[in-house]
Chain A
Amino acid sequence: MSRFLAIIRVTLLQLVGRSRSIGLLVLAALPAVILLLVGFNTDDRDTEEFFRTVILFLVLGVTTPIISIILGAGSLGDERAQKTISYLALRPIRREVIAGAKLMAAWMASFLVAGAGAVLTAVALGVTIGSWDEMFAILVATAITSLGFVAVMQVVGYLTDRAVVIGLAYLLIWEGIVTSAASQVATTSIWRMGVSAYAGIVAGDHWGSALGLEAQVVADLKDLLSGVLPGAWGAGCKVLAVAVVSIAALGVVMRDRDLVS
């Protein structure tokens, strides 16, 4: 356990370096800034609708994924790029433990930054229209989205030094276009796992109206999820499965491939 925690501690310091963390925090705060700028110029109903758009598309669909892509790719990618992988890997530790600790650290860093942005966004909404009900749902959705992207990107980051470019292309093409156009593959979308968790909390797992959502809002959410059922537990289980597969895959890759080039 102490090895696991030691890796987490050092990885957190490695990932959240000064210049990188400033850049990512600015990115995370962007939705809140946009919301505040727009919120003061519209009435409550428009703002609430705009808020949902900002949360679902900008926070869960853009800023959280980008932050998670960068930090996920860096968790093991930085070790390879900076050649410190030999210091880490030539120790009596199972490869899966290294992968697990790295994933945990990257997720914590990602959630810390993206979650701060999500909280700022919720606060911006609260300040604008006085509603604080959705803060919990936003944070859970952000946590789920960031875990999914970090898990995928950790493997990509280990395998290639162009991981961030590949991750952004994946976000745009697969998450943005393919899974929106083809409902058959929508269940594989990490973004929709986050949206599903959000919908599960705000609308209920069976599209009830836990927070008294209007019918139009529920219809919009259904449309966005493209057949994916709402539910925080279901979404949580899915990303956990992605994380387990990521750890197992990295264990195999670290054993069978050269650790340095």
Chain B
Amino acid sequence: MTTSPAFVANPTIEVTEISKWFGQKVAVSNVSCSFGPGITGLLGPNGAGKTTLLRMMAGLIRPSRGKLSVLDTNPRRDTSVFQRVGLVPEDDAVYEFLTGRRFVEYGAELAGVRNPSTAAAHAITAVGMDDAAGRRIEGYSKGMRQRIKVAGALVNDPEVLYLDEPLNGADPVQRVRLIELFHHLAAEGRTVVVSSHVLEEVEKMANRVIAMVDGRLAAAGDSAAIRAAFTDIPYRVRIESDTPRKLGSALLGQDVIRSVEVLDDTLHVQTEDLGALGHLLPPLAQSLDVRLTMVQPEDLSLESVFRYLVHGQ
């Protein structure tokens, strides 16, 4: 089983043919993979099933079918495993009437940590929230809420940490700091699973990526392999000009162009190298005396990229 890039040699989390449906809607369909120490990115567009998979692994929701094991335990059956697990949910799951410090201390008390105040202080320092910890959470910004949630998840010193879109709302400085923290946690041998719909974000955090689309596992491997798969995808570009046919004929002879189509006086060009097209187009238009009125990439959403990976279209 470990030969597939979806599996690791010494897993702490094992997901076997797991599915989850809500009524008629299939959220996760027959996914098998495993996670081990280090950071694994769970990548996919909105609605891909990342959060549902993460919630199943965390024990928040029950799989409709399949088997799941976290630290050799079924989290739905044995709550003692939560001593060793932490979750940062995507939702704004905070007690707004508590101060940040009390919120984290409460997490420590619930986890049965020996000295809740000290554990909370360490976790708060780790996320850089010392200055604001005495304030009520209701006055926190989105980024501060994210960080206090991370502190709440870290307070019991977990071996397995689930992070659902953990950089949401964080400013660039906070992002860098949080990413450093996650790297530090992974370097200590913890299993960190980070879900995100932003490839660049996942690339910065994870050395291994599991990509999901439409509830299924679309691709798995190291970040570089996933990035390479992404860059091979042909992009469609919409070009509007005063003489589309003349420009289209000239573009057809270029190496970076895969196909050219004229629809309603608009050029639709397919290329595998957006950057090269960007460099090529202005001088070419100038030399042909063509006036460009609009150049716009089409279909560049992450959804379309994933769809290409899964369906090849």
> Which residues between 70 and 127 of chain A lie within 8 Å of chain B, taking CB atoms?
82-95
Given contacts A90-B87, A92-B83, are A6 and B93 in contact (CB under 8 A)?
no
Is B97 in contact with A90, judged by CB distance below 8 angstroms?
no
Is B181 an interface residue, CB under 8 A from the partner? no
**Chain A residues within 8 Å of B60, by CB:** 86, 89-90, 258-260
A255 to B62, CA, bound (A): 9
Closest to B86 in A: A90
Query: How many cross-chain pairs have Cβ atoms below 8 Å apart between A and B?
Result: 82
Closest to B61 in A: A258
Is A7 an interface residue, CB under 8 A from the partner? yes
**Chain A residues within 8 Å of B85, by CB:** 90
A169 to B262, CA, bound (A): 65
Number of interface residues of B (CB under 8 A): 32
Binding stretch for chain B, among A10-18, A31-39, A153-161, A194-202? A10-18
Is B76 an interface residue, CB under 8 A from the partner? yes
| B8 shortest CB reach to chain A, Å | 23
Is B97 in contact with A17, judged by CB distance below 8 angstroms?
yes
Q: From the candidates A6, A92, A257, name the one contacting B62 in the complex (CB within 8 A).
A: A257
**Chain B residues within 8 Å of A93, by CB:** 79, 82, 110
A221-261 interface mask toward B, CB cutoff 8 Å, 1 = contact, 0 = none?
00000000000000000000000000000000001111111
Number of interface residues of A (CB under 8 A): 29
**Chain A residues within 8 Å of B111, by CB:** 91-92
Is A88 in contact with B110, judged by CB distance below 8 angstroms?
yes
Is B93 in contact with A7, judged by CB distance below 8 angstroms?
no
B69-102 interface mask toward A, CB cutoff 8 Å, 1 = contact, 0 = none?
0000000110111110101010111110110000
A50 to B69, CA, bound (A): 64
Given contacts A84-B94, A91-B111, A92-B82, are A256 and B62 in contact (CB under 8 A)?
yes
Closest to B78 in A: A92
Is A91 in contact with B110, judged by CB distance below 8 angstroms?
yes
Chain A residues proximal to chain B, CB less than 8 Å: 2-3, 6-7, 10, 13-14, 17, 82-95, 255-261
Chain B residues proximal to chain A, CB less than 8 Å: 22, 55, 58-62, 76-77, 79-83, 85, 87, 89, 91-95, 97-98, 106-107, 109-112, 152, 156
Taking A3-B110, A87-B152, A92-B112 as given, write out 4 further A-B residue pairs in contact, using a Cβ cutoff of 8 Å, ordered by the A residue number. A3-B112, A7-B110, A84-B95, A87-B93
17 interchain pairs, CB-CB under 8 A: A6-B106, A10-B95, A13-B95, A83-B91, A86-B58, A90-B60, A91-B82, A92-B79, A92-B80, A92-B82, A92-B111, A94-B79, A95-B79, A255-B77, A256-B62, A257-B62, A260-B61
